[in-house]
Structure formats: structure tokens, C-alpha cells
Structure 1
Amino acid sequence: MKNAQERQRLSKMMTKMLRHAPDEFGLRLDPADGSCQADALLNALMRLPSWAGVTMEDIAEVVRACEKQRFELRDGRIRARYGHSYERVAYEAAPPPAILYHGTNRKALAQIKQDGLRAMGRQYVHLSEGKSFAELAGRRRGELVMLRVDTAQAAQAGVTFYRAGNEVWLADHVPADVLNEDGP
């Protein structure tokens, strides 16, 4: 890719194709992990007039450069690690670290304190091992509020955690009483 702006445009298109609307582009994702052949993604992109000149190296560059590590490219297959809205991708349950983080915005905090963390339009609630990924997500829509999840307490309340890879964890719902605001 020639520049960061083009990488971002391609990342957004790959997100749409791999997380939200694969059928729209003729992609068939493996229901076990949400992956498809990388060549199938490349061919689907090349059928779009604005992406006719895209290469496999461009795709690999987007995967490498993505700060939130949204994609995984391995053994000729590519997938979005998390954030799917079109269909529920299965993840294996795993024991999480003692604390996970969720970044949100100040406007959402009152509702979260009442209902806990819900998946909203996604398939899972997204959590992070470290604050950096949570901050990236939380800063997008206003004043950042960092929430700390006590995973032992959440597990006692029946929450199952799924490892999505690279510090990202998923859950179906996280009750409000296992959440605490994390100070500055």
C-alpha cells in the first residue's frame, strides 16, 4: 500500500467482508473460526472496481499494521479475530487473567452500571488483557472510561470467557456488579 489512508480504507473493506457481510461478496467463512481462503478474499476484492489492483501483499500489510490486530493471516487463510455481526463465530472457552478491561465512554456508563456489559450489535462483549486495546475502543465515541472486570467474580456469576487472541477476550454478557471504574 502506498500510504496509511489506503491501508485504513482496505482495513475497513476487509472488516465489512470478514465480520459483517461475507455473503454480499461471495465469501464462505468457516463456521468454526470465521476464516476463508486468503485467495478468495483477494479475488472478491479484485472484483470491486476500487480494489482491482489490490495484491496479497497489500492484505498482509493491513494485517500486520492493524493496531487493534483485527485480522489473522495464517496457512493461506484469513479471518477477523473478533467483532462479527453477521453470524456467531464459535470460540473455545478458556480461563482468563484475573483482571480484564473494557473501554467505553462516559455517556454509556449509567446504562452499563444498570445492565452490565452487553454485546449490543455484536456477537460478544469485547474485553482486553491490557488497557491499550480497551483505550483504543473506548476513545472512539467520547470521553474515555476504563472499566476493570473481576474475572473470578464474573465466573462465579456464570460468565464464560473466550480467548479471541492477542489480548482480546470475549463474553456473552458481563454483569454490572463485577465491574469497577479504573482510575487514571
Structure 2
Amino acid sequence: MQTKLSKFMSKILRHSPEEFGLSLDPNDGSCTVAKLIDVLRAHSKWSEISVSDVKEVVARCEKQRFEIIGDRIRARYGHSHDKVSYPAAIPPTVLYHGTNVQAAPTILKQGLRPMHRQYVHLSEGLHFATLAGKRRGELIILAIDTEKATQAGVVFYYAGNEVWLADVVPAEFCRINENAEEGQLNE
């Protein structure tokens, strides 16, 4: 049940809130938990859903896609509707991006671009980069030199829970992470 609810919440909060009659705050992409519950309960499969069910999905989501602050909930990242803004922040000296062997050569030539998303998604550690990259085929982890990128004008945004975003990351700041041994990737 949790996985299905998480996917449905992602569809609503990350991709098509208007399809469900939900208006998100244009600044942070949030709505009240009560409004989300109303939208969920409008579908017979979720008619008995409770606030605690939603809170459990938020707490247990391995990728930490959602956050609740006060009485409001939002998807932390991955929106395909209105662009949500995040505060610019100074990232750790290295961030990671999970991708696959087919995409890596293009990224190493052209840089990281958001493609069909609003931002490039990066992570502080190998765990989230691995989760993101594994679903795309044979995994390659890229390391991003954030100090040099920042000096060149790349702005990084903190989305919470080890997730960082950027509009683009030029190729000269991306390299294959040779230090990521297979055992480390599964940590």
C-alpha cells in the first residue's frame, strides 16, 4: 500500500496537481495536508486514507521525496509542473549523480542538463545517487566538483535530505567517480 500511495502522491504533488483540482503554493510547491487528504479520499481506492497513512509514507520514503512542515506537505524535488524555487546554498565539495553507461559519455561531453525536469538532481552521498541511477540501466556514478563549478557561476540549491539541485552542470565539472567500489554503492 505504501508504495502505491507514494506513487500517487508523487503524481499529485510532483507532476499534475491541477488534474486533481489541487493548487500548490507557487513559491514552495506545498499545500495543506488536509487538502491532499481530500484529493486522495476523492478516489475510492484511498477513501479511508488517514493523516497518519500520509505521514508514514513521508517518513518511510527511501528517496525522501516529501516533507511535512507544520500543516503543509510538498514534494521536495522532481516537479514537472510550475518551477519551484529553492534557496541557493553552498554545497559540499563533491556531489554525486547516478546515471547509466549509455548516458555517461554524453554527459561527460555536454554536461548535466535537467532534460524533462526543472533541475539537475545531485546527492551528497552515494546512496541516493545509486538509487536514482540504478533504475536507468548499468550504473555509473559521476562526481561533481562543486567548488570549481561554483567559482564558474553554477548555483546549487538545497532541496533537503542530501538532495541538491542545479540548473545545469557543465561537463568540465563532471567526472566518473573512480572511488565508488561496488560494495560502497550498495551501502
Confirm or deny that 1:165 pairs with 2:160: yes
> Displacement, 1:157?
2.1
* Structure-1 residue corresponding to 2:22: 27
* Structure-2 residue corresponding to 1:141: 136
For 1:62-101, what aligned pairs fall within 5 Å after superposition?
Answer: 62-101=57-96
Q: What is the CA RMSD across the aligned residues, in angstroms?
A: 0.8
Confirm or deny that 1:43 pairs with 2:29: no
* Structure-2 residue corresponding to 1:181: 176
Cα distance in 2 for partners of 1:81, 1:89 equals 9
Structure 1: gaps spanning 5 or more residues = 1-5
1:23-63 C-alpha deviation (Å, 9 max, x unpaired)? 11111111111110000000000001221111111101100
Residue identity opposite 1:117 in structure 2: L
Residue identity opposite 1:86 in structure 2: H
Q: SS at the partner of 1:30?
A: coil
* Structure-1 residue corresponding to 2:185: none
Residue identity opposite 2:155 in structure 1: T
Cα distance in 1 for partners of 2:152, 2:119 equals 17
Work out whether residues 27 and 84 of structure 2, in 8 Å CA contact, stay in contact via their aligned partners in 1. Answer: yes
Residue identity opposite 1:29 in structure 2: L
Question: TM-score scaled by structure 2?
Answer: 0.94
The counterpart of 1:120, out of the listed 81, 95, 115, is 115
Cα distance in 1 for partners of 2:5, 2:106 equals 34
* Structure-2 residue corresponding to 1:3: none
1:61-120 C-alpha deviation (Å, 9 max, x unpaired)? 100110010000120110000000111001110111111000111111121112110001
Q: SS at the partner of 1:107?
A: coil
Q: SS at the partner of 1:8?
A: helix
The alignment covers a number of residue pairs equal to 179
Work out whether residues 108 and 175 of structure 2, in 8 Å CA contact, stay in contact via their aligned partners in 1. Answer: no
Q: SS at the partner of 1:142?
A: coil
> Displacement, 1:156?
2.1
Q: SS at the partner of 1:86?
A: coil
* Structure-2 residue corresponding to 1:104: 99
Q: SS at the partner of 1:39?
A: helix
Q: SS at the partner of 2:102?
A: helix
Moved more, 106-115 or 14-23: 106-115
Cα distance in 2 for partners of 1:138, 1:173 equals 18
For 1:52-71, what aligned pairs fall within 5 Å after superposition?
Answer: 52-71=47-66
Structure 2: gaps spanning 5 or more residues = 182-187
Residue identity opposite 1:38 in structure 2: V
Cα distance in 2 for partners of 1:25, 1:50 equals 15
Cα distance in 2 for partners of 1:10, 1:115 equals 37
Question: TM-score scaled by structure 1?
Answer: 0.95
